[in-house]
Amino acid sequence: MKTQNWNIDPTHSEVQFKVKHLVISTVTGAFKNFEGSLNTETEDFDGAKAAFSLDVKSIDTNVADRDAHLKSGDFFDAEAHPRLTFEGVLSKVSDEKYQLVGPMTIKETTQEVTLDVAFGGVMVDGYGQTKAGFEINGKINRKDFGLTWSAVTEAGGVVVGDDVKLLLNVQLVKN
């Protein structure tokens, strides 16, 4: 089989994250602008090469002041480091489960990340486009990527947790 190229359909995809706040609740945010592709030589996507990039300035937690803080030098430093990138290889674990492993770069810091992937299937839409669906989940430690801002409350509680859950629902369109 020749290489098949698939691109993220941004209108049917989402990139979210969750992080603990004060250790007692969870804040959810999203990135609104992103792009990615998957190149595969197999029908079942085993061994497919993934490339993904997002615009850090598109962060949205539904609170403008918090978004501004996250874009600042305390966290992403979006002016100097406007993109988060990831490249990886998809490995089949079972019919519906995969792992996606590869380097993620945030603020010029690169770390290998392993993400769990649930394969939703392949379908042809009403316009004749072949689409594939994936749900991707994982966790990173924000401090491993230079996102080290921290504060402690008067009672000794941590304001922002270190672990960040990643949740991506991705629909790809076959080229």
Provide the pLDDT for residue 154. Answer: 64
Please report, for the chain, how many H helices and E strands are present, in that order. Answer: 1, 11
- Report whether CATH 2.40.128.110 matches the domain 4-174: yes
> Which helix or strand (DSSP H or E) is residue 165 part of?
strand 160-174
Cα separation, 162 vs 150, in Å, equals: 9
Q: For the chain, what are the domain ranges?
A: 4-174
21: three-class secondary structure by DSSP: strand
pLDDT band at 22, cuts 50/70/90?
confident
- pTM higher than the cut 0.85: yes
* Nearest-angstrom CA–CA distance, 146 and 10: 28
Q: What is the pLDDT of residue 156?
A: 62
Cβ-based neighbours of 94, under 8 Å, separated by 6 or more: none
pLDDT at 155 over 70: no
Residue 82 confidence (pLDDT): 97
pLDDT above 70 for 153: no
Tell me the pLDDT tens digit for each residue of 101-131: 999 999 999 999 999 999 999 999 999 999 9
pLDDT digits (tens, 9 = 90+) for 36-93: 999 999 989 999 999 999 999 999 999 999 999 999 999 999 999 999 999 999 999 9
Q: How far is CA 35 from CA 102, 150, 156, in A?
A: 17, 30, 40
Contact (CB, 8 A) for 158 and 152: yes
Q: For residue 147, what pLDDT band results from cuts at 50, 70 and 90?
A: confident
Query: How far from chain centre, in Å, is Cα 143?
Result: 16
Which of 25-34, 148-157, 159-168 is predicted most confidently?
25-34
The DSSP output letter for 27 is E
